[in-house]
Amino acid sequence: MRGSGGVPRALRSFRVPTIKRNHAGPLLRARAREIVTTPRSGRLTTCLPSFHRAAGCEFNRAYSTDGWPTPEQTGTTPPSFAFAFDIDGVLLHVAKPIPGASETLQYLQDHNIPFILLTNGGGKLEADRVKDLSEKLGVSLTTDNFVQSHTPFRQLVAPGPESLRDKTILVTGADANKCRLIAESYGFRNVVTPADILHAHPTIWPFEPLHDPVHPAVYTRPLPRPIYTPGVIDNLSSALKVDAIFVFNDPRDWALDIQVITDLLLSKQGYLGTYSTKNDDHSLPGCGWQQDGQPPLYFSNADLFWSTGFHLPRFGQGAFQAAVAGVWRRITGGHELQRRAIGKPYGETYRFAEQVLNSHRHEMLRRHQGNHRHEAVGALKCVYMVGDNPESDIAGANEYVSEAGTEWKSVLVRTGVWSADHGRGHEQLKGKFKPDMIVDDVGSAVGWALEEEEWGTV
């Protein structure tokens, strides 16, 4: 709740004297001990999480936004560190804010601390998703610092010999028609969906069709060209050719989608309805599988599980990807499916996110300092990736190597997919899955990062 000064009362309840940067850490630690030892009834808190390092060393500390430095102590210049937040399981759970999430984001905005929302979710236009998040979290957000799983696909329409802007692409997802609209908003000009193909050629899937409500005719479009059919459409130049396949988010009709995707991967040069003569040719690399100009297959999300309203995690797009790959191995006698995956934990997504974050930070610096000064400001030194999934958020941050030398630190929260009590728990947190810190929630993640940065000066 905000007071008359425009700063949440919880953020104004604690003041520290003006301090030098190297003295900020001890003072914040003292405040943390004060919060821990103060009886709960005497605290004004937003969140009271504990945190400990992944190595297992326990820290009996707690954080709340009312104990963090105020604008009077920090000034308003964006610092050299920033945050990247996953959404589901970190900021929201079942479309409701996780306690402390809204206050934490508002605190960062009030202090001009850059952050980006980096999610493996998708299926909506970026502007629509940001509007929805702003309403749910009660914090004003923009698309300038927001990246969904499929947002990097927009790079594939950039001018150049590899541009897919004017090519025909197949897209699928939870709502394939919405995915079509998203793709068109990115600049793709010729987009078809599995539903378009099913309605144009129902025998492509010989079982009971899911026309309504999964594939309503009102959302289908005529195919740009007919499907190759011997004796009917024999000339390939007149037949439908698909140049790339995109899975934007979790499909609903796995059966139809796997059939159509597999047909294209077995085709001659992406002509649906054909079968490549190179398939299973042992004289060719990979026995000829996917060696005949078949369309590249793009997945935007490798998450096997995600946190939902059910008490155990549910399958995500990663499960669909595994299903496609499993069918492919069975067809080809064990050959691995060639595909291009983005989203967390893949470096391409972190590279794209860092570019977006840097652009957002420079815009903040420009507004604060003026056009004539912001270019002289040093590079972003550290990004704290806060997530709930060791296999995506944590592994991605740990393995990503920034070309600009920016360090990425990983922070695992307990409010989402990962739990010490389910699955392999702490045994899972080894190697690339081991976070720099484990915390209760997003509030304590930011509190720990502020202490790490010894942040709290004018």
All structural domains of the chain with their residue ranges? 9-148+344-452, 151-341
DSSP summary character for residue 447: H
Cβ-proximal residues to 177 (8 Å cutoff; 6+ apart), any chain: 193, 195, 219, 220
Q: Is 298 helix (H, G, I), strand (E, B) or coil?
A: strand
Fold of 9-148+344-452: Rossmann fold (3.40.50)
Q: 82-86, 245-249, 368-372 — which is least confidently predicted? A: 368-372
Q: Do domains 9-148+344-452 and 151-341 have the same CATH topology?
A: yes
Q: Is 439 helix (H, G, I), strand (E, B) or coil?
A: strand
- Note the CATH architecture for domain 151-341: 3-Layer(aba) Sandwich (3.40)
Over the stretch 208-235, which tens digit does the pLDDT of each residue have? Answer: 766 566 677 788 999 999 999 998 887 8
pLDDT greater than 50 at residue 15: no
pLDDT, residue 365, reads: 83
Tell me the Ramachandran region of residue 35: left when phi exceeds 0, alpha when psi lies from -120 to 50, beta otherwise.
alpha
Q: 122 phi and psi, to 5 degrees?
A: 180, -160
Mean pLDDT computed over 127-137: 97
pTM: 0.80
Over the stretch 369-421, which tens digit does the pLDDT of each residue have? Answer: 765 554 556 789 999 999 999 999 999 999 999 999 999 999 999 999 898 76
Q: Give me the chain's average pLDDT, please.
A: 83
Sign of CA dihedral 381, 386, 390, 391: negative
pLDDT, residue 422, reads: 66
